[in-house]
Amino acid sequence: MANPDHHHDHGGDHAGGSELSDMQLRVRALETILTEKGYVEAAALDAIIEACETRIGPHNGARVVAKAWIDAGFRKALLEDGSKAVAGLGHDSRVGEHLVAVENTPDTHNIVVCTLCSCYPWDLLGLPPVWYKSTQYRSRTVKDPRGVLHDFGVTLPATTKIRVWDSTAETRFLVVPMRPAGTDGWTEDQLAALVTRDSMVGTGLAQPPGKAV
Amino acid sequence: MRDMTDRTSAVAQAVPGFPHDAGGPVFREPWQAQAFAMTLTLYDRGLFTWPEWAAMLAAEIERARARGDPDTGDTYYHHWLAALERIVAEKRVTDAHTLSRYHDAWDRAADRTPHGMPIELQPEDFRAT
């Protein structure tokens, strides 16, 4: 597998050796120090990463939304105290103090942003997408939410108010999108498949039933 | 679920002006995952509160923007790692000098490790250059 172009010699001493990027070197340096001091363990770090890549993700949030659609009692509890209602489903909040669920209606559409950094309900939605973390999204959503929605392919009636929720380290928001028409009698599983990540951030809508496979 | 991800990603790709989200692995490179997991672990151990972390990260992003970082989201984990280095130093877990010493040691370890072999840190890697 020798590749003569692979080595980017700085001082000429990389030839034949391996190379780590500066970010890799910095992460390894920090991890070694934290491990030596007993702050972290490699196996525990791997478990977190594995959870991020598999177990946590928008499917968790989708289940919460689907349950709210079919269970009026749960919907009420979710809107009253998001953290408590969600903890009842076994989704313990890892970070942040408070989950607030905001419900879309024909009159009001909710959209979530974090103007300061990118606070996001990870446990329910997975890690935030790149656009959520961009300056453009963070600054434009506050000033021109309708324009941002338009860029995401969402056009709402002019009579629908758009409410922007700015996350903080203490409060994270989950948008409960409107249940699509034509889904009467659907099961929670079927409904959950219509709930996209973007619909729970407010940059999208739940999928219409025809599109769900 | 896969179909849903694909669709979301197709929408994101069609959106002009936003860096698109590939819908692939949540971390683009393993170091990002390591940095994220270390932060969560230190938070769990009570080294800092989440508001403290958020303030540190926001300040780091602000500094990067002041330096001309386009802050499109692609460099997010660079800011994340910088904030993590800063907060562990602030909490006196380590300091910039030690971080730099370990950084250079890992660099030497990489240099002397034949390509394709696992890179491991040895005491000799800490020798002064």
Q: Where are the domains of chain B?
A: 31-126
Look at residue A69 and tell me if it is in a domain. Answer: yes
For residue A5, is it within any domain? no
Q: Does pLDDT of A174 surpass 50?
A: yes
Is residue A164 assigned to a domain?
yes
Asked if A96 contacts A124 with a C-beta cutoff of 8 angstroms, the reply is no
In this structure, the answer to whether residues A188 and A91 fall within a common structural domain is yes
Confidence at residue A109, expressed as pLDDT on a 0 to 100 scale: 98
In a domain, A137, yes or no: yes
Task: For this complex, say whether ipTM is above 0.90.
Answer: no
pLDDT bracket for residue A97 (50, 70, 90): low
A15-19, A59-63, A138-142: which has the minimum mean pLDDT? A15-19
Q: What is the mean pLDDT of residues A78-84?
A: 93
Closest to A194 in 3D by CA, of B127, A204, A203, A12: A204
- CA–CA gap between residue B108 and residue A13 (Å, rounded): 9
Boundaries of domain holding A34: 22-53
Q: State how far the Cα of A188 lies from the Cα of A68, in Å rounded to an integer.
A: 9
Tell me if A145 is assigned to some domain. Answer: yes
Compare B45 and A13 and report the one with higher pLDDT.
Answer: B45
> Does residue A179 sit within a domain?
yes
Tokens of B4: 């849903």
A11 in a structural domain: no
- List residues of A with catalytic annotation: 114, 117-119
Whether residue A114 is found in the same domain as residue A158:
yes
Confidence class of residue B22 from pLDDT cuts 50, 70 and 90? very low
Count of domains forming chain A = 2
**Same domain (yes/no): A186, A203:** yes
A chain contacts of residue B70, beta-carbon cutoff 8 Å: 135
Out of B17, B26, B53, the one facing A53 most closely (by C-beta) is B26
In B, residues 20-59, which contact A (CB 8 Å cutoff)? 20-21, 25-27, 29, 31, 33-38, 40-43, 45, 47, 50-51, 53-55, 57-58
Q: Are residues A130 and A154 in the same domain?
A: yes
CB contact under 8 A, A131 and B18: yes
Please indicate, yes or no, if residue A128 is contained in any of the structural domains: yes
Give the bridge partners for A22, in sequence order: none
- Same domain flag for A65 and A33: no
Predicted pLDDT at A94? 56
- Indicate if the pLDDT at residue A34 is higher than 80: yes
**Partner-chain residue, chosen from A32, A33, A48, that has the shortest CB–CB distance to B41:** A48
Q: Do residue A76 and residue A166 come from a single domain?
A: yes
**Inter-chain residue contact A131 with B73, CB threshold 8 Å:** yes
The C-alpha of A17 sits at a distance from chain B's nearest C-alpha, in angstroms, of 5
- Cα separation, A100 vs A200, whole angstroms: 12
pTM score over 0.95: no
**Residue A42 sits in the same domain as residue A61:** no
Partners of A119 on chain B (C-beta within 8 Å) are 54
* Statement to judge: residues A203 and A140 lie in one domain: yes
